[in-house]
Amino acid sequence: MALALDASHRWVYFHTGWIGGLCGLPALINNALLRYSTSSDWLQRSDKFMPIGRFDELLLPKSALVLLLVGLVWVWLRRRELTYLWSLAFSGLFLLNQQVLTGLQIENFHWIYVYGPCLSLLLALLVAGEFLRADLPRPALAALWLLGAVHLADGFWLRAQEALRTRQTREILADFACYRQQRLGGPTERLAPNAVLAGAPEFLELGAILEDQRPLDHYCLLLSPSIDDAEWDRRVALNDYLRGFDRADFARCQEATLSKGWGPWVRDVALRAKRLAARLSAFDAIRAHPAAALEEFAVRYVALPANQPPPEYLREGWRRLQGGPSWQVWERLRAG
């Protein structure tokens, strides 16, 4: 785009383009080799290289489109030297809907992190340039500096609120405080490093970070090239079985889970029914022969809410390491 709009700097853009392409080539080759050496399951379940209709899932942020149009006129008439920045913002906004050309969903929403900062910087530079040309009196300049300082402070305040006061942040901090009190605050038997841990999702996340555990079911599995959908289904089913779910609970939970987020089953009712059937089949097989599933994935520990009655399977072959105050932690005696 900059090559077309800014003839005076075409060689700069040309050399920038081929140097950038050369720098990024190793990553492209590595990603291509990874893609073609593994199952496609893991890519599509996280919306990577997902075939969709060319005009499906369009993202058209109205404010960004208006600002981009205003910016184009402004740059063309007043600030030609900012053509490259406008072009970068335009490219990010265009790639937000690149499925129009490719027919693929590749987590396209991430392009907001290109056009958003570029568009914000462009508008800030355009406005600042106009004020500098206006030769404003000193009080007006002081007021503008004050306005800028207030705006900057407000940005830091909002970032602090996002990091410390949102619901998800408060939940994570509360879980961490409970984990630290129970597992790290006194003479507690530590979990063996690199062991497979099942149970409550919040305990799995913290155990992976704080005690070097390997979660049986976790967000990282969604993104793992080494785990296909069949293994993913078995892991999900085993973890919920160990949490004490019955078949009806598991079916309801998975129906809700598969109806949102990523993956082809979110977009297709038939594929969702097929995925749900596969998970229910895995759950039935595990319920019939839990020992085999435990051995398959070498599950060593299970963590459940402290106030939950222990499931039936814990009565034999397990010992309780902790009874609370937040979680009951069990160890399988015959863990591999």
Q: What is the pLDDT of residues 15-62, one digit of tens each?
A: 888 898 899 899 889 888 887 888 778 889 989 889 999 999 999 999
CA distances from 96 to 2, 59, 310 (A): 18, 7, 48
pLDDT grade, residue 14 (50/70/90)? confident
pLDDT of residue 12: 80
Percentage of the chain surpassing pLDDT 70? 98
Spatial separation of the C-alpha atoms in residues 187 and 189, rounded to whole Å: 7
Q: What is the pTM of this model?
A: 0.85
118-176: per-residue pLDDT in tens? 999 999 999 888 887 877 788 888 888 898 899 899 999 999 998 889 999 999 999 99
pLDDT of residue 73: 94
pLDDT of residue 72: 94
pLDDT of residue 3: 64
pLDDT of residue 10: 78
Spatial separation of the C-alpha atoms in residues 78 and 129, rounded to whole Å: 9
Q: What is the mean pLDDT of residues 212-223?
A: 94
pLDDT of residue 128: 86
Whether the per-residue pLDDT at 82 is higher than 70: the answer is yes
**55-62 contacts: CB < 8 A, separation 24 or more?**
55/100, 56/99, 57/99, 57/105, 57/108, 58/97, 58/100, 59/96, 59/97, 59/108, 59/109, 60/97, 61/93, 61/96
- Per the prediction, the chain carries an average pLDDT of 92
Whether the per-residue pLDDT at 335 is higher than 60: the answer is no
Task: Say which range, 3-17, 93-107, 193-207, 289-303, has the weakest mean pLDDT.
Answer: 3-17
Enumerate the domain spans of the chain: 2-134, 173-332
pLDDT of residue 171: 94
Q: What is the mean pLDDT of residues 80-109?
A: 93
Q: What is the mean pLDDT of residues 97-118?
A: 94
pLDDT of residue 320: 96
Whether the per-residue pLDDT at 336 is higher than 60: the answer is no
Q: What is the mean pLDDT of residues 294-310?
A: 97
Spatial separation of the C-alpha atoms in residues 231 and 300, rounded to whole Å: 18
pLDDT grade, residue 70 (50/70/90)? very high
